[in-house]
Structure 1
């Protein structure tokens, strides 16, 4: 009898283990454990060093590549020739000598440096109108815009020894008073940015100057894990549902694939791949050549720039190091707000006034977990007040990519000051940023202005935690 009981007990235990193993197989096969995987990538730990940390579970080889990428992202570059051959090749014209100069601790840049001077995070992108020549048509196909002939793609505020910098950015504002239906008043700052101390002569008479502040690098790698199908599902170019929102995709030429790709990075969604974005920043901001952008950033009108000493190697940032920097940015931790009761209440208000039609709160990733970037990565007409007049591939002068909102909660932790919002840093608060919205976002702005003050404050607190 005792033997029979032991046998029954064994069979029952064996049966439980069998069921458990089969259940786990089903769970893994159907991706039900994917939510746990998100913890490797996401964190709601709001501290100043979060964006410097690697994702969980990197093996030794992966961690070494992460550290290598971080070193080339953080350690200053020097001008050539130099004994530091791994990091020479800076300039001859440049804005900053490190990536972190524009992206402090991988966060969003600041508008001002010391003494109310513009920081290196504020860039002046330059272009001119196309004259329909074959040369300009080629520029539009392969660069998306026509660069300013003398100063090129972007104003360089620094130069190496013997090479004059191109110019400086002067910041000024005009005050605009806004009154809410309930009587609340808000002062907006309309930027009156200008370029001064131009060392290479006058700008082209048809020049367009678009001022851009360096965005946060939060979640840059996870953006690439959103399927293009999910992004394109929100395209409504002709506003077929009559909601006033008509997001458009920007298809852009890639120097990596040599064909048009869906743009998902930059203020106008003009870059399709993170590696290409890194290479573009290396070229425009630091004057570093890569196999993607092998030409220097001197124009034919800049004699000293063209005659400056050359580094030993033709390519300043070779592929293995460019890949390491890209790998580093793809594998830093991503901040995502904690889903508290206050978060859910704020999200309900956000959705109620239609902000979420462009700032989409969540996407599924190819790894099976959800992320909350609060962007649709599409182009939208934001009205004349925010228009910069600049064309970038299919993006016109009124359009901007919906700016992701996640990670902005870290800015004050990193920089000890509140973020200056929108593409050019004009907005000192989320309320100011909302009040600048026009075009497709006009109705959402008006909906916000008509909310009771208590609900407006609740919505702003929600945004400040994203």
Structure 2
């Protein structure tokens, strides 16, 4: 009897040991390792790679999500029922058409024409009707009655595209206190080849370039409390910065949530933003956006053949896409002496007041997204005459800066910065800052030229 008890205990200990090994191997009780999420290698395909420590089921889900992100969608009806439903109006047939390497979009394509990464979004003022109030409550804006919320540059067979974007600039010279002169490009974008009639002059048209998808899952792991503690809407500490939260309607929870994503923080989660982009950019329906993106004025669009299923992207596939985006590797620069000197300048002139560089995730990982994810008044020069939920026309979410150094690797050219791609480099982006950021811009302009160069090199490394 004693021998039997001893044998069972040994066997139990052996089984327990093997079980724990299996559990840790699948990551169920794993302690966070920064290396699982980040890499210090500037690799053009880094943001396509999965984080480390996935089990087989997670990896399969990651690969499934990536397939729906990169493989083209087709118009209905099609034998490829898993990927039909494109359009009837759309801009691109894949997500990677606008997010090459999961990075930031380009302003021009390889032929020197306007890229599909630059989209035109439309909205009109409210007439006070019940319909408009409902649209404001659920969408945060009122779409154009004929062209809808976003211009589509493509249409399926038998459906005319809506319009094309024409890119032009006005050159503006800026002189520094030390005599240096830089040239800014003020965009004069316009819509041409409009196939559904004129657009009234009182329509707000804003041009947006596809943002980077770097670190989306890590951003979602930042608690709302950590973001909201930086809100200072009335500038009670008199530092000139008055961050504001954008509380947006969530089609997932059916209530108002903290917006963290998009240029004006108008989406609360990765899955909702993925569904919104699928709808507006590719005309794909899902559980959160069930209607085709046709307006009542677009007969051919409404009469176009429909996919077999009401949802072009099923909940399982949408969840897989979201899982893929939330579990790709992120870039973390090496903490060299040069990096530390640049960071010190970044902090000393006040950039860090909005581009916050220290957050803790829900699993206790320290991250540096260089954003507070709040809205800030950026001045008249960056106004787009469009409100989105709590965001006014002059207010923009602080754009995360992390991972921008990868985009030159991905696209073989420096990234175009700001919401509409007007800035060709970091200095131009800084010089466009106004409103709350005006004093920080002046601090930058008053730095010695060599110090400015150190800061720009730092920004190009993160």
CA shift digits 1:58-109 (9 cap, x unpaired): 0001000000000000000000011111000000000000000000010000
The structure 1 residue matched to 2:138, chosen from 139, 142, 145, is 142
Partner of 1:113: 109
- Aligned: 1:85 with 2:46: no
**Cα offset for 1:382?**
0.1
**Cα offset for 1:34?**
9.3
Partner of 1:213: 209
Distance 1:274 1:338 in 2: 28
Contact 1:69 1:321 (C-alpha < 8 Å) held by counterparts:
yes
Q: 1:187 is paired with a residue of what secondary structure?
A: strand
The structure 2 residue matched to 1:379, chosen from 360, 375, 380, is 375
Partner of 2:48: 52
Contact 1:113 1:119 (C-alpha < 8 Å) held by counterparts:
yes
- Aligned: 1:197 with 2:182: no
Distance 2:271 2:31 in 1: 27
Q: 1:313 is paired with a residue of what secondary structure?
A: coil
Partner of 2:261: 265
Q: 1:224–1:151: structure 2 CA closer, same or farther, 3 Å change rule?
A: same
Distance 1:49 1:450 in 2: 38
The structure 1 residue matched to 2:320, chosen from 321, 324, 344, is 324
After superposition, residues 91-110 of structure 1 pair within 5 angstroms as 91-110=87-106
Contact 1:411 1:419 (C-alpha < 8 Å) held by counterparts:
yes
Moved over 4 A (4+): 33-36
**Which deviates the most, 37-46 or 71-80?**
37-46
Distance 2:393 2:129 in 1: 21
| TM-score, normalised via structure 2 length | 0.93
- Aligned: 1:132 with 2:128: yes
After superposition, residues 370-449 of structure 1 pair within 5 angstroms as 370-449=366-445
Partner of 1:358: 354
Contact 1:128 1:204 (C-alpha < 8 Å) held by counterparts:
no
Contact 2:32 2:363 (C-alpha < 8 Å) held by counterparts:
no
Q: 1:86 is paired with a residue of what secondary structure?
A: coil
Partner of 2:176: 180
Q: 2:372 is paired with a residue of what secondary structure?
A: coil
Q: 1:215 is paired with a residue of what secondary structure?
A: coil
Distance 1:163 1:47 in 2: 40
**Cα offset for 1:36?**
5.5
Contact 1:374 1:406 (C-alpha < 8 Å) held by counterparts:
yes
**Cα offset for 1:44?**
1.5
Question: What is the root-mean-square deviation of aligned Cα atoms in Å?
Answer: 1.2
- Aligned: 1:72 with 2:64: no
CA shift digits 1:299-326 (9 cap, x unpaired): 0000000000111111100000000000
**Cα offset for 1:116?**
2.6
Partner of 2:331: 335
Q: 1:385 is paired with a residue of what secondary structure?
A: helix
Distance 2:332 2:120 in 1: 30
- Aligned: 1:237 with 2:233: yes
Q: 1:362–1:34: structure 2 CA closer, same or farther, 3 Å change rule?
A: farther
Distance 1:335 1:208 in 2: 36
Partner of 1:10: none
Contact 1:363 1:372 (C-alpha < 8 Å) held by counterparts:
yes
**Which deviates the most, 337-346 or 95-104?**
337-346
CA shift digits 1:190-229 (9 cap, x unpaired): 0000000000001134210010000110001100110111
After superposition, residues 273-312 of structure 1 pair within 5 angstroms as 273-312=269-308
Contact 1:53 1:333 (C-alpha < 8 Å) held by counterparts:
yes
Q: 1:188 is paired with a residue of what secondary structure?
A: strand
Distance 2:157 2:247 in 1: 40
CA shift digits 1:230-262 (9 cap, x unpaired): 100100000000010000000000000000000
Distance 1:72 1:37 in 2: 29
**Cα offset for 1:342?**
1.1
Contact 1:43 1:334 (C-alpha < 8 Å) held by counterparts:
yes
Distance 1:362 1:338 in 2: 16
Contact 2:90 2:155 (C-alpha < 8 Å) held by counterparts:
yes
**Which deviates the most, 139-148 or 334-343?**
334-343
Partner of 2:17: none
**Cα offset for 1:450?**
0.3
Distance 1:179 1:434 in 2: 13
Distance 2:282 2:256 in 1: 26
| TM-score, normalised via structure 1 length | 0.92
CA shift digits 1:246-281 (9 cap, x unpaired): 000000000000000000000000010110000000
Q: 1:35–1:319: structure 2 CA closer, same or farther, 3 Å change rule?
A: closer
